[in-house]
Structure 1
Amino acid sequence: MRRPGQFKMVLLGESAVGKSSLALRFAKGQYQEHAESTIGAAFLTHTLQIDQDTSLKVELWDTAGQERYHSLAPMYYRGAQAALVVYDITNGESLRRAKQWVKELQQVNANDMVIGLAGNKADLATGNRRQVDSNEVREYAEQNDLIFMETSAKRGDNVTEIFMSVAKVVASKQPSGTPKTDGAFSAAKSKPKESSGCCGSDSKT
């Protein structure tokens, strides 16, 4: 059996939008109602079966959303083939911050990185709690060639789907079907250890 390829994917977004919750739901099928915020970054892995002949091991780097950790972000997204930028649909300011992340990634990586955009906390999109219009974001995503879905880490809505969609595009960019992670980051002194409890959560949803 052919060994699976692998790629590095970084999660970016403001604090408390649910990056860690999405990572934990995707990688381990778990959801933690109450968890501490991520400090620096945390690391998880999960293998996806893209098709009958192609499987990809996703190396997830879940970054802290607090502004004081922003200067560390380039160290984590360097060498990444993909990024998932997350915002909270009940927090309009978090979308503005997400757009800044997208702009930064596009400037640094040009067209080399596959970028997904997740509007998290879809389970809270009731009454007047929603602050972000999905049609507006969809138009923005189309203009910027982003893979966009609204997700709920709590219920599991579109979590696997958005990661799978990003992975399929990454695989399509690799003729061999076995993309490899840039090894430059592996020597970074701050590489956190993978843990079964993930990494603390930026959010409850």
Structure 2
Amino acid sequence: MNLSVHQKKEKTFKILVLGDVGTGKTSFIRQYVSQKFFINYKATIGSDFAIKDLDWDENLRIKLQLWDIAGQERFSCMTRVYYRGAVGAFVVFDVSRAATFEGVEKWKEDLDSKLLLPTGEPIPAILLCNKCDQSSIIKKGKIEKLCHDLGFVSCHETSAKDNVGIDEAIKVLISKILQTEESLLTTLSGVHVPIQEEPKKNSTNCCACHLPRSKKET
């Protein structure tokens, strides 16, 4: 029996959108959330976010928080605060600007050094080859190698201007987040904590036994 809308399970996912200045992060988010594109945007100061409600399937409704993180160097010291609580990320570069491609490694390493899953693994991240409506000066093989070497889930060509590849990239990341969440639940539920028996009434031991406290989730 299908659940009605008000009975659907709900999840909130915080997703980061990272990359150098001018790579189209704000346009990417705006196109996905509002189906709007503007040629000129002011550079994001610090961070900003937009929310999109998504009916994932007949039983699950997802509230996406897409966080637009400023690409300016002066805000790099604040990324740990902005990253907190995120479960997935996009790292964006502009296919027509080689310098932004070179910045991908910096962003991925910063993300992986400041935000990890409880298992110690990186959160799922996807590489976006943005502005694919323009001529790319980065060879496909070089992009694929970087994607593999840095541990991205996948890479996708996107264009906020022409609304190309955005929905697909979002769906792939959400699918990976859900898979990761399920895997974590299985892993954590498989951790065996021995149950100690209560001391016998005639025991000479006057100290009560206590189960070890579970570690507080962070």
Please confirm whether the aligned pair reaches a TM-score higher than 0.5, indicating the same fold.
yes
TM-score range, shorter chain: 0.7 to 0.9
Q: Percent identity?
A: 25
Separation in structure 1 between the aligned mates of residue 41 and residue 53 of structure 2, nearest angstrom: 25
Partner of 2:163: 156
Q: Verify the 8 A CA contact 1:48 1:164 in the aligned structure 2.
A: no
Task: In structure 1, list runs of 5 or more residues that go unmatched.
Answer: 177-183, 185-205
Aligned partner of residue 176 in structure 2, secondary structure? helix
Q: Is the 8 A contact 1:50 1:168 kept in 2?
A: no
Which amino acid letter does the alignment assign opposite residue 75 of structure 1?
A: V
For residue 50 of structure 1, the aligned residue among 52, 56, 59 is: 56
Question: What letter matches 2:95 in structure 1?
Answer: I
d(CA) in 1 for partners of 2:55, 2:179? 14
Which residue matches 1:111?
121
Alpha-carbon distance in structure 1 between the residues aligned to 2:99 and 2:42: 22
Q: Any conservation in 2 of the 1:50–1:164 contact (CA below 8 Å)?
A: no
Which residue, out of 67, 72, 83, partners 1:66? 72
Q: Which amino acid counterpart does residue 169 of structure 1 have in structure 2?
A: K
2:145 is the counterpart of 1:139: yes
**CA apart distance, 1:44:** 0.4
Matched, 1:5 2:11: yes
Matches within 5 A, 1:155-174: 155-174=162-181
Q: Which amino acid aligns with 1:165?
A: V
Do the aligned residues in 1 keep the contact of 2:44 with 2:70 (CA within 8 Å)? yes
Aligned residues: 173
1:81 aligns with 2:87: yes
Q: Could you list the runs of 5+ residues in structure 2 that have no partner in the other structure? A: 1-6, 184-217
Q: Give the number of the structure whose alpha-carbon radius of gyration is greater.
A: 2
The TM-score normalised by the length of structure 2 is 0.74
Task: Quote the offset at 1:104 in angstroms.
Answer: 1.8
State how 1:22-33 maps to structure 2 within 5 Å.
22-33=28-39
TM-score in terms of structure 1 length:
0.78
User: Which deviates the most, 137-146 or 60-69?
Assistant: 137-146
Amino acid at match of 2:128: A
- Once the two structures are superposed, what CA deviation does each residue of 1:66-117 show, in whole Å capped at 9, x if it has no partner? 1111111111112210111100001111111111111222233252411011
* 1:40 matches 2:50: no
